[in-house]
C-alpha cells in the first residue's frame, strides 16, 4: 500500500507531562497506584504524552527535590496526593516553598467547605480552615468531589497542577479543570487510537508478523503491545495537527495491520475480551453453553460468567474434581478412567458429551489436567492438560503442555479452552 505521508513537524513536540505521586502508602506498597495509569490514559486523549513518572513519600524535602527534577524534565507536571487534613497538607507547603511564596486565605474555598460541613453536620475545625490556605501564586481548581481543592501554577513556561490522591476526585479535576486548561494553554494535537484484540498467539509471534509494518510506521503513528495470557491487544495511536489526516491515517494503518495477521487470531476490537467475544457469538447463533471442568476447577465458568448478561447463554458447569463426580454426574465410563486416566483425550470427550446431556446445552467445553505442583507422572508430567469442545455432531480436542505453576496452569487452560471454543464456534 503506497500512501503519501506528510510528516508534520509539530507532531515531534507533543505536550510532555511528568506525573508526580506523593504518599508514604504508595512507597511502602500498601496501595497500588492506579491514578497514574488513569491520568496517562486521559492525557493520551488530548494528545499529551507522559514522559516520566515519580513517586515520593510525604516528606517536605523529597517533594521539593522531585518538583525540581520534574520541572527540568517536562513542561507540565501533574501532582497527586499529599493534600488534605490527615496529610498535614505536606504537598501544599512543599509547593509554596518550591516557588518561595507564602500563603493566602481563599474565601471561596471556605464558603464551599462551610456548605459541605453544614450538610454533613460536622464542625469546622482548624484542620478544615487550613485547607483554605493557598500558596500565593496558586490558581484554585474547584474540587466538586471532595474538600481539598486542586491548584494550578504557571511559572517560567512550566505548569504544575496539584490534585488530591483520591481517584474520583483526581478524575473529576483532570476532566473538568486540568485537561481543558492544558488544551488551551498548549494547543494540543488531535489524537485518535484504535485497538485490535488477538487470541491464540504470543507477543513475540505477533511482533514477527508486524515487524516490517512497525519499522515503517510514520512518526505520527505509534503501535503499542498489551500482552496477557495467549492474548495481545494492539493499539495504534495517531497524533497530528490535522484531524482529518489523523482519522485517515489511523484507518489506513489499522487495516494494513489487520491484513498482516492470520485471520483466526484476530478475535475482536476495542475493549473486546475472549469472554465477551464468545458470548457475542453464542447470542448471535442462539446457542447455550455449559462447561465440565476438572483442572480448571471452576475458573473457566468464572471467566464466562464475568461477562454481564452471560446468563443469556451460559447454563452452568459441573466442576468434577473427584472421579466419582466425573462418572456419576457426567457419565464418564469407569473403563475410560481406568484405561486412559482422568487426564486423557477420551475423558474430556466424554465430559463434553456428559455436560451437553446433563445441562441440556448445544455446546460444551471440558478440561482435565495435572495443575500441579504435585500429581505429575513420567507419562503425564505437571502441566499436561487436555481440553475439548463439542456439540452433538463433532468434538475437537487439544493437548497442552504447560508450566509447573499451578495458578498459571489453571489460567492458561481457561483461556486456551475459551479460544478453542471461539474457533469451534467460527467453524474452524
Q: How far is the CB of 2 from its own copies (least distance, A)?
A: 27
**Shortest distance, position 311 Cβ to its own copies, whole Å:** 5
Is residue 221 within 8 Å of residue 253, measured between CB atoms?
yes
Query: In the bound complex, what is the minimum distance in angstroms from residue 274's beta carbon to its own copies?
Result: 16
Residue with cell string 484484540: 197
Nearer to its own copies, 62 or 101 (CB): 62
Quote the CA–CA distance of 371 and 213 in Å, as a whole number. Answer: 39
Q: Closer CB to its own copies, residue 137 or residue 307? A: 307
Task: Find the shortest distance in angstroms from Cβ 4 to its own copies.
Answer: 28
Nearer to its own copies, 142 or 328 (CB): 328
Short-list 419, 372, 365, CA closest to 395: 365
**Cβ distance to its own copies smaller for residue 382 or 423:** 382
In this complex, which beta carbon is closest to its own copies, that of residue 129 or of residue 406? 406
Beta-bridged to residue 339, according to DSSP, are none
* Sheet strands (E) in 106-172: 133-135, 139-141, 150-155, 158-163
Q: Give pairs for 261-264: CB < 8 Å, separation 24+.
A: 261/196, 261/198, 261/206, 261/209, 261/210, 262/201, 262/209, 264/200, 264/423, 264/426, 264/428
Q: Report whether the peptide linkage leading into residue 373 is cis, meaning its omega lies within 30 degrees of zero.
A: yes
In angstroms, give the least distance from the CB of 84 to its own copies.
8
How many CB atoms are closer than 10 A to CB 138?
A: 24
The owner of cell 469407569 is: 334
Nearer to its own copies (CB atom), residue 137 or residue 366 = 366
DSSP helix/strand/coil, 402: coil
Q: How many CB atoms lie within 10 A of CB 161?
A: 25
What 8-state DSSP symbol labels residue 56? E
The minimum distance between CB 43 and its own copies, in angstroms, equals: 8
Nearer to its own copies among residue 154 and residue 208 (C-beta): 208
- Please name which of 399, 391, 400, 401 lies closest in space to residue 424, comparing C-alpha atoms: 391
Q: What's the min distance (Å) between Cβ of 102 and its own copies? A: 25
Amino acid at each position: 500500500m503506497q500512501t503519501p505521508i506528510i510528516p508534520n513537524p509539530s507532531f515531534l513536540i507533543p505536550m510532555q507531562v511528568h506525573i508526580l505521586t506523593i504518599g508514604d502508602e504508595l512507597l511502602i506498597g500498601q496501595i497500588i497506584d492506579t491514578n497514574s495509569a488513569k491520568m496517562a490514559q486521559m492525557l493520551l486523549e488530548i494528545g499529551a504524552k507522559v514522559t516520566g513518572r515519580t513517586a515520593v513519600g510525604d516528606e517536605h524535602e523529597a517533594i521539593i527535590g522531585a518538583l525540581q527534577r520534574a520541572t527540568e524534565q517536562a513542561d507540565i507536571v501533574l501532582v497527586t496526593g499529599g493534600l488534605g487534613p490527615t496529610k498535614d497538607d505536606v504537598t501544599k507547603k512543599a509547593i509554596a516553598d518550591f516557588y518561595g511564596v507564602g500563603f493566602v486565605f481563599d474565601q471561596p474555598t471556605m464558603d464551599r467547605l462551610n456548605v459541605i460541613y453544614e450538610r454533613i453536620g460536622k464542625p469546622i475545625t482548624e484542620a478544615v480552615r487550613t485547607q483554605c490556605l493557598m500558596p500565593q501564586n496558586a490558581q484554585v481548581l474547584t474540587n466538586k468531589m471532595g474538600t481539598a481543592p486542586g491548584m494550578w501554577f504557571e511559572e517560567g513556561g512550566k505548569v504544575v497542577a496539584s490534585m488530591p490522591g483520591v481517584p474520583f476526585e483526581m478524575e473529576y479535576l483532570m476532566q473538568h479543570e486540568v485537561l481543558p486548561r492544558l488544551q488551551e494553554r498548549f494547543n494540543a494535537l488531535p489524537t485518535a487510537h484504535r485497538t485490535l484484540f488477538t487470541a491464540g498467539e504470543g507477543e513475540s509471534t505477533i511482533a514477527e508478523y508486524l515487524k516490517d509494518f512497525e519499522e515503517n510506521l510514520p512518526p505520527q503513528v505509534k503501535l503499542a503491545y498489551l500482552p496477557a495470557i495467549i492474548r495481545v491487544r494492539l493499539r495504534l495511536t495517531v497524533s497530528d495537527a490535522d484531524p482529518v489526516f489523523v482519522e485517515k491515517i489511523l484507518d489506513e494503518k489499522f487495516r494494513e495491520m489487520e491484513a498482516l495477521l492470520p485471520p483466526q487470531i484476530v478475535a475482536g476490537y476495542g475493549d473486546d475480551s475472549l469472554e465477551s467475544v464468545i458470548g457475542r457469538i453464542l447470542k448471535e447463533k442462539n446457542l447455550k453453553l455449559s462447561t465440565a471442568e476438572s483442572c480448571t476447577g471452576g475458573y473457566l465458568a468464572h471467566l464466562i460468567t464475568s461477562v454481564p448478561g452471560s446468563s443469556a447463554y451460559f447454563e452452568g458447569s459441573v466442576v468434577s474434581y473427584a472421579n466419582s463426580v466425573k462418572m456419576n454426574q457426567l457419565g464418564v465410563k469407569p473403563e475410560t478412567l481406568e484405561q486412559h486416566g482422568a487426564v486423557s483425550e477420551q475423558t474430556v470427550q466424554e465430559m463434553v458429551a456428559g455436560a451437553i446431556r446433563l445441562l441440556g446445552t448445544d455446546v460444551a467445553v471440558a478440561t482435565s489436567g495435572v495443575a500441579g505442583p504435585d500429581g505429575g507422572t513420567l507419562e503425564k508430567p505437571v502441566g499436561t492438560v487436555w481440553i475439548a469442545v463439542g456439540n452433538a455432531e463433532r468434538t475437537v480436542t487439544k493437548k497442552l503442555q504447560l508450566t509447573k505453576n499451578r495458578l498459571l496452569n489453571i489460567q492458561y487452560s481457561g483461556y486456551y479452552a475459551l479460544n478453542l471454543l471461539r474457533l469451534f464456534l467460527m467453524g474452524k
